[in-house]
Amino acid sequence: MKTKSQKLHLKLDKACGDLVKERDGHKCRRCGGEPVSWCHIIRRSRSKAVRWNPDNTLALCRACHYWLDLGADMLSATAFIEEMIGKNKMKELVELAHDKNAKPWGIKDLENKLKELNER
């Protein structure tokens, strides 16, 4: 049985993914292909602070998601991301992701984030 926190994580993943796909017109931001999934720029495993930040995600098809995660060299991946979101936004995300004062997500924080995403 899933905990309340786990259930909220799943709802947040769906809400953010749906928002990003809608924002990007349900097309891959790299090649224009379909179907798409939501891809994190700064991986979830590297920073929980930006996990549900729509600015930290792109809609990508399976092949382009694979390219970004495993196939692209660092220079190509960085150039692509900066082209998609801009250097300033990338810098902001990196700062948020490395914020030493960021606190763990509590239940109330998760609920508030879900409300915020659903209101967009």
Which residue ranges make up each domain of the chain?
4-119
DSSP letters, 65-96, are: HHIIIIIS-HHHHHHHHHHHH-HHHHHHHHHH
Name the percent of the chain lying above pLDDT 70: 100
108 pLDDT exceeds 90? yes
17-69 pLDDT, tens digit each: 999 999 999 999 999 999 999 999 998 877 888 999 999 999 999 999 999 99
Contact indicator for 45, 23 with CB cutoff of 8 Å: no
- What does the alpha-carbon distance between residue 110 and residue 120 come to, in Å, rounded to a whole number? 16
Nearest-10 crossing angle of helices 74-85, 87-97? 110
Q: Helix H segments across the chain?
A: 4-23, 62-66, 74-85, 87-97, 107-119
Gyration radius from the chain CA atoms: 15
What's the pLDDT score for residue 17? 96
Residue whose C-alpha is closest to residue 115's, from 7, 5, 6, 11: 11
Planar angle of CA 102, 39, 103, nearest 5 degrees: 10
65: its two tokens: 């998601």
